[in-house]
Copies of this chain bind each other. A is one copy, B any other.
């Protein structure tokens, strides 16, 4: 969900820059590591985690470009769409609550049924998982789904994977996988 449907990085960047006007060259657009705090020097990590733990943070993410319309299109065209999201391990309560509020706000009441909050996505059945994490691992060694990497700067190093660079490509990327 984060950085696939909901634009985590843009909201984080906005809040960080408000607090650090002295960091005029602050830029997340080329960040290297999947966990956001790992992109900060040690002395700033704690502040980054505190920012992500603020009440209202998750609800304030703008949607990723074309994500909302694409999800609605997939459902209209008969796909059984589920949103599978892992809560941050240092911030459970308002994070999970706000994920439901976010889905209701942007995708509507009916989509709440489709939201699944799980740390280990390998335990979930499905055909395709669209995820920005470079490698999705967990208890199940061979998950049912094929991982489609939703392109973000921190997963560009993964070669030979199936990618979706933007939501406007969803038919082109997903339909061949669903027909296999």
Contact = CB atoms under 8 A, between A and B. Distances in A.
Contacts of A126: 123
Interface of A: 80, 82, 87, 89, 92-94, 96-97, 100-101, 104, 112-120, 122-126, 139-140, 144
Copies of this chain present in the complex amount to 2
Query: Chain A binding site: helix, strand, loop or mixed by DSSP?
Result: mixed
Given A118-B118, A125-B125, A97 B93 contact: yes
Interface core residue of A101, A112, A123 (most chain B CB under 10 Å): A123
Contacts of A125: 122-125, 140, 144
A139 B123 CA distance: 16
A64 to B, nearest CB: 22
